[in-house]
Amino acid sequence: MDNTREDIPSWLKTPEHYRPGTDRDGFVSRSLLSLSAALAQFRLDGGRQSRCSPTAATKLLFAVGCVLLVSLSRNYLFVLIMLAGVLVRACLLPREALAHVMAGATTAASFTFLVMLPAILLGQAQSPVTLATKAFVSTGLVLSVALTTPTHKLTRALRRFGMPGVAILTADLALRSIVSLGQTASEILTALQLRSVGRNHNKQASMGGVGGVTLLKASRAAQDTYDAMRCRGFDGSYELGGADPLTWIDACWGLLFAALVAAFFYLQGLV
């Protein structure tokens, strides 16, 4: 027994009290992880259409037209009428979509308001409020359309309006990659956090590595997707097939848009 005890090296006999120095990992855990979380927010779900949803093409035209009218409007009442419409539409959205639309629209409006605050000093007290309301309405409209339309139907609608196939392909691949890239970045950062034992002042040096690996993975994922599409006979052009039949719901939305255009010109004339 004694011999065995003597065989043990002395450094092994002393109890270890390793206390790693407190490390500041705010750089990793807060800055970049929150960035990845923000990226993950771009996740596109299937898009759920309601019973009164028009075809994607009508919806897209309606949304673009409304954003244009709101931007051109010099009458605040018209913006408020559109605000009422966006809020009513938001009320009817499913729970998650409602939170998404309100968060996006409120952020856009708050940012616009902050940027426009100096206008108050120049005597334009109403401008920040007007522009913030316009930003809220436009963002709310676009998000509502995005969240209530399946992605493939939006792609189809874009193609119907003559957008080049390459542009659609690029946008499609980019949007789909954002989610997986957000996850990849998050995994790399978690690995970096786990491997960084003890005090490490040099975490920022890993920034390039994280970005580089994410870029390489992105490029590989895009190439794989493109190859898979080529294998299935994709030649870069989007064939539309049969036209989407317009329904009475599209007609109703068309009438609503005509009413909005009429209200726009009437109210514009009163200013």
Partner 1 sequence: MHIPENYLSPSTCAVTTVAMVPVWASAVRHVRDEVPREKIPLIGIAAAFSFLAMMFNIPLPGGTTGHAVCGTLIAILFGPWSAVLAISIALAIQAVFFGDGGILSFGANCLNMAFVLPFVGYAIYRAIAGDKPDLKRELIAAGIGSYIGLNVAALLCAFEFGIQPLLFHDAQGAALYCPYPLSVSIPAMMLGHLTVAGLAEAGFTVGILAFVRSAAPSFGIETRAASTNSLVPVLGLILVLVAACPLGLIATGDAWGEWATEDLAQMVGYTPQGLANGWEWNSFMPDYSVGSLPEWLGYVVSAVIGVALLVIIFRLAANAAKPTVNFEA
Q: Report the candidate in 238, 245, 239, 236 with the shortest Cα–Cα distance to residue 57.
A: 245
Provide, rounded to whole angstroms, the least separation between the CB of residue 53 and partner 1: 17
Length of the chain: 271
Tell me the two tokens of residue 212.
Answer: 């580089």
Q: Per rule CB under 8 A, is residue 243 in the interface with partner 1?
A: no
Q: Which of 25, 42, 48, 76 binds partner 1 (CB under 8 A)?
A: 76
Choice between 40 and 98, CB closer to partner 1: 98
Choice between 27 and 113, CB closer to partner 1: 113
Provide, rounded to whole angstroms, the least separation between the CB of residue 95 and partner 1: 6
Instruction: Reduce the DSSP state of residue 168 to 3 states and report it.
Output: helix
Tell me how many residues contact partner 1 (CB under 8 A): 20
CA dihedral 120, 124, 126, 129 (to 10 degrees): -50
Choice between 55 and 133, CB closer to partner 1: 133
Contact residues for 97 (Cβ-Cβ < 8 A; gap 6+):
48, 144, 147, 148
Backbone angles phi, psi at 203, to 5 degrees: -70, -35
Q: Which of 68, 84, 251, 258 binds partner 1 (CB under 8 A)?
A: 84
Measured CA to CA, the distance from residue 216 to residue 228 in angstroms comes to 18
Q: Per rule CB under 8 A, is residue 98 in the interface with partner 1?
A: yes
Q: Per rule CB under 8 A, is residue 262 in the interface with partner 1?
A: no
Contact 36, 182 (CB under 8 A): yes
Q: Which of 13, 95, 201, 232 binds partner 1 (CB under 8 A)?
A: 95
Q: Which parts of this chain interact with partner 1 (CB under 8 A)?
A: 76-77, 80-81, 83-84, 87-88, 90-91, 95-96, 98-99, 102, 125, 129, 133, 267, 270
